[in-house]
Amino acid sequence: MRIDVVTIFPDYLRPLELALVGRAASRDLVDIQTHDLRAWTHDVHRTVDDSPYGGGPGMVMRPEPWDAALRDIVARDPSRRPRVVVPTPAGVPFTQSYAAELAEQDWLIFCCGRYEGIDGRVVDAWADDEISIGDYVLAGGEVATLVMVEAVTRLLPGVVGNAESIIDDSFAHGLLEGPVYTRPPVWEGRAVPEILRSGDHAAIARWRREEALRRTRRRRPELLDRIELSDADRAVVAS
């Protein structure tokens, strides 16, 4: 997968050079290129914003630099059509299944808006997806892009060593993941649940499912309406 990110703060995307995503890039499992939008400006001040039509606070990102940047980047590989993503608080909620959908794509371009946003005509002309990572307001799309790129990259083949950990992820089965434990068996007087040290893999799997159901019921009950529950699941949820 190729991922291009357009931003006025390229250094904000440096974390993508680290850890899981950085390792995936060094193994050529993903090709991430970051671009400074100001490279597509021509005035001495490298202006990317202007006052909003209709008045109001703040500034809006001008269409011309964005259009020039996207035309240039897309033209670098005429044989492929990228999926263009614009992070925005007004977007469709980003979910694990959305991440899985984007992970199927061959090429993603993330457009990081700042100020009051990107001129709506550019979004209309170019955006395939307008995505929100949550109901709060950030200063720009860079943080949202970091979130989405990590969520997508970890789903690419070969990125996560143990593919099972992807399958058991929170949300992978539509439930929140339950608690996890490691040594020591007792820490500060708190013991690891005995079942996890029993070696009874069927019982351990059942316990983990029950913990996931209980945690989901407590924290995100609405998720339970979206999945198929067995009679045993329902008994746990009702208890």
Residues 142-201 that bind ligand 97T (CB under 6 A): 144
Question: Is residue 87 near ligand 97T by the rule CB under 6 A?
Answer: yes
Q: Of 9 and 107, which has the nearer Cβ to ligand 97T?
A: 9
Instruction: Reply yes or no on whether 154 is catalytic.
Output: yes
89 counts as catalytic: yes
Active-site residue, selected from the candidate residues 46, 154, 214, 220? 154
User: What is the β-pairing status of strands 2-7 and 107-111?
Assistant: parallel
Report the distance separating Cα 86 and Cα 161, nearest Å: 30
Residue 113 near ligand 97T by CB under 6 A: yes
Q: How far apart are CA 28 and CA 239, in angstroms?
A: 48
d(CA 94, CA 176): 16
Token pair of 100 as six digits: 């899985």
Tokens 């290129």 found at: 33
- Beta carbon of residue 113, minimum distance to ligand 97T (angstroms, whole number): 5
Point out which span in 19-27, 61-69, 82-90, 164-172 binds ligand 97T (CB under 6 A): 82-90
Cβ 30 vs Cβ 156: under 8 Å: yes
User: Segment near ligand 97T (CB under 6 A), from 38-46, 100-108, 135-143, 231-239?
Assistant: 135-143
Q: Residue type at 234?
A: R
Query: How far apart are the C-alpha atoms of 223 and 232, rounded to whole Å?
Result: 17
Active-site residue, selected from the candidate residues 52, 89, 150, 214? 89
- Closer CB to ligand 97T, 47 or 132, in the complex: 132
Query: Which residues is 26 bridged to in the sheet?
Result: none
Q: Running DSSP on this structure, what letter comes out for residue 191?
A: E
Segment contacting ligand 97T by CB under 6 A, of 138-146, 162-170, 197-205, 222-230: 138-146
- Provide the annotated active-site residues: 89, 116, 154, 169
User: Which positions lie near ligand 97T, rule CB under 6 A?
Assistant: 87-89, 113, 132-134, 136-138, 140-141, 144
